[in-house]
Amino acid sequence: MRSLLMKSPVAIAMFWIAIYLMITLLPLLILLLYPPTGDRTIWLEFSVALGFVGLAMMALQFALTARINIIEASYGVDLILQFHRYTSIVAFFFILIHPLILFILDPETLQLLNFLEAPWRARFAVVATLALIGLIVTSIWRQPLKIPYEPWRILHGILAACAVGFGLAHALGVGYYLNLFWKALLWGGLSLLALWLLVYIRLVKPWFMTKKLYLVEAVNAERGNVWSLVLRPRGHEGITFQPGQFAWITLGISPFRMREHPFSMASNGDNPECLEFGIKAVGDFTKTIKDVKPGTKAYLDGPYGVFTTDRYEDSAGFVLIAGGIGITPIMSMLVTAAEREDERPYLLIYANKKREDITYHEEIEALKVKLDLTIVHVLREPPEDWSGESGYVDKELLERYIPQRRGSRNYFICAVPKMMDQVEAALHELGVPVTHVHMEHYNLV
Ligand SMILES: Cc1cc2nc3c(=O)[nH]c(=O)nc-3n(C[C@H](O)[C@H](O)[C@H](O)COP(=O)(O)OP(=O)(O)OC[C@H]3O[C@@H](n4cnc5c(N)ncnc54)[C@H](O)[C@@H]3O)c2cc1C
């Protein structure tokens, strides 16, 4: 079993799905052991089951977002967060349907919504449900509601802790299925574990980060409104990483402040002594990078991610497709391959608006000396003397460059969401196997 898990990413992924289903359903099955005696309708039992499964799913969300390396290494942060979003919505509906069934079965129970007169167990349920509604609304509509990312993240943690904490308090208060001490202990333990994961990510991990300090060595201007941030480890060996991975960076402040941002490493993954990031100035934090002084303290949480050529050692070569700042993980793949003297063919298709926007233009050209590298620049607004490709990276363009034996390569795409969707669809139409297409999304929420 262990050797199978070690070998196959699919087996590892299936293993975690099985664990997820088990943890979601096991508490429910345990509730059915030594069931309380009572004459209750099937609808009532169904409603209660929805409540318990919803609560277990909510508790598991903490594990999904705790950046547990072994889980992230099986799926990648994109997929995990996607799963987190969908399962949260499913759990939300389970929890919402739970009281709705009760209200339909017995309209008198609507009185439990009267917060002032209702018993505590009902008040807990109301608070948990309101917290859950707040969670869903502020997550789905964060941008239209204009909630900045950092305050949203803090609010998200508080609302999630309230939803699970008060949800459990409600279940314990009702007590029907949790009447036996060991059952209450088990459910209490599950919820405490979930809250511990929140403490772990907000306090324990930052504490470990303070033990591994980095110092800013330089900040260099690149083309395309991008700034190269060069970090060196101070008092420790630094980290190696698989090219294409990313880390969460805290710059100039304590990691306990929870103001960290994810950035892909753009440098050689095998060199722990110097880490480079290419950061595009787009918002509050990234626009301050240009003013960061050498010697500024930095803390890293990582490496994370499965967007890496290292996972496909058997691939005959690679097709790398970048749009704008999406070049950073791909730059790392190319630099690392060059340093490793990789002899396999690399095709880079790199889309930008103008020639002046091409980040790392010269550095990439220079890699041709060490690598079997074909570069195709695609400009949306080419200058008059431009003889290269122009327009968008579409099916026709891809067909001209990607190899005839589509399945012999692995394809990596990092760009704005619209370009990624279009390129993914085009590759699909051109017969590239879906398992050979890998993508990194920069907008997590
Ligand atoms: C895996 C990954 C790798 C990335 N690699 C790079 C890279 O190599 N170079 C680069 O320039 N950008 C990269 N990004 C994007 C970068 O993290 C955001 O541009 C940056 O965090 C924006 O912060 P801001 O405050 O300047 O902008 P804002 O205007 O505040 O935010 C713009 C958007 O960025 C996202 N964002 C903001 N703050 C955070 C945060 N703390 N954590 C997560 N997302 C946030 C939100 O979706 C937000 O809507 C990467 C993102 C991810 C998820």
In the three-class reduction of DSSP (H, G, I as helix; E, B as strand; rest coil), residue 257 is classed as helix
CATH superfamily of 213-304: Translation factors (2.40.30.10)
Nearest CA to ligand 1 atom 13: 263
User: Torsions phi, psi of 415, nearest 5?
Assistant: -165, -170
Nearest CA to ligand 1 atom 51: 442
The token duo for 203 is 């306090």
Q: Is residue 182 exposed (0-12), middle (13-18) or buried (19+ Cβ within 10 Å)?
A: exposed
Task: Indicate which atom in ligand 1 lies nearest the CA of residue 148.
Answer: 30
Q: Tokens 């920069």 identify what position?
A: 442
Residues 307, 441: Cα–Cα separation, whole Å: 10
Tell me which residue of 430, 428, 425 sits closest to 399, measured CA to CA.
430
Residues 38, 118: Cα–Cα separation, whole Å: 24
Q: CA geometry: angle at 392 spanning 390 and 397, to 5°? A: 80
Q: Buried b vs exposed e over 335-370: b needs ≥16 C-beta within 10 Å? A: bbbbbeebeebbbbbbbbeebebbbbbeebeebeee
Residues with CB under 6 Å of ligand 1 are 149, 246, 260-264, 277-280, 282-286, 325, 328, 440, 442-445
User: Domain extents for the chain?
Assistant: 2-207, 213-304, 312-439
Q: How far, in Å, is the centroid of ligand 1 from the Cα of 441?
A: 10
Measured in residues, the chain has a length of 445
Q: How far, in Å, is the centroid of ligand 1 from the Cα of 182?
A: 45
- pLDDT reported for residue 8: 59
What is the arrangement of strands in the sheet containing 261-264, beginning at the earlier edge strand? 261-264, 246-251, 297-304, 213-222, 226-234, 275-280
- pLDDT reported for residue 182: 81
- pLDDT reported for residue 1: 42
Angle, helices 181-199 vs 149-174, to 10°: value is 170
Tell me which residue of 372, 368, 360, 335 sits closest to 242, measured CA to CA.
335
CATH number for region 312-439 = 3.40.50.80
Which of 241, 259, 260, 261 to probe ligand 1 with, by most ligand atoms within 8 A of CB? 261
- pLDDT reported for residue 9: 60
User: Torsions phi, psi of 314, nearest 5?
Assistant: -85, -5
DSSP structure string for 115-156: TTTS-HHHHHHHHHHHHHHHHHHHHHTTTTTT--HHHHHHHH
Residues 16, 75: Cα–Cα separation, whole Å: 10
Nearest CA to ligand 1 atom 32: 283
Residues 161, 131: Cα–Cα separation, whole Å: 9
Per-residue pLDDT of the chain (445 residues; tens, 9 = 90+): 444 444 556 676 677 778 888 877 877 787 777 776 667 788 888 898 899 889 988 988 888 888 877 777 767 777 788 889 888 999 999 999 999 999 999 999 899 888 888 999 999 999 999 999 999 999 999 989 999 888 898 899 999 999 999 999 998 888 777 777 887 788 788 878 888 888 888 889 899 999 999 999 999 999 999 999 999 999 999 999 999 999 999 999 988 877 889 999 999 999 999 999 999 999 889 999 999 999 999 999 989 988 999 999 999 999 999 999 999 999 999 999 999 999 999 999 999 999 999 999 999 999 999 999 999 999 999 999 999 999 999 999 999 999 999 889 999 999 999 999 999 999 999 999 999 999 998 876 5
DSSP H helical ranges for 265-416: 327-339, 361-366, 395-401
Write down the pTM of the prediction. Answer: 0.83
Number of Cβ within 10 Å of residue 103's Cβ equals 14
User: In this structure, which amino acid lies at residue 46?
Assistant: F
Q: What is the chain's alpha carbon radius of gyration, rounded to the nearest angstrom?
A: 25
Q: How far, in Å, is the centroid of ligand 1 from the Cα of 443?
A: 6
Q: How far, in Å, is the centroid of ligand 1 from the Cα of 146?
A: 16
Nearest CA to ligand 1 atom 7: 263
Number of Cβ within 10 Å of residue 69's Cβ equals 11
| DSSP summary character for residue 267 | S
Nearest CA to ligand 1 atom 31: 283
Number of Cβ within 10 Å of residue 374's Cβ equals 14
Nearest CA to ligand 1 atom 5: 263
Tell me which residue of 427, 85, 414 sits closest to 245, measured CA to CA.
414
49 Cβ contact partners less than 8 Å away, ≥ 6 residues apart: 28
Nearest CA to ligand 1 atom 52: 442
Q: How far, in Å, is the centroid of ligand 1 from the Cα of 142?
A: 15
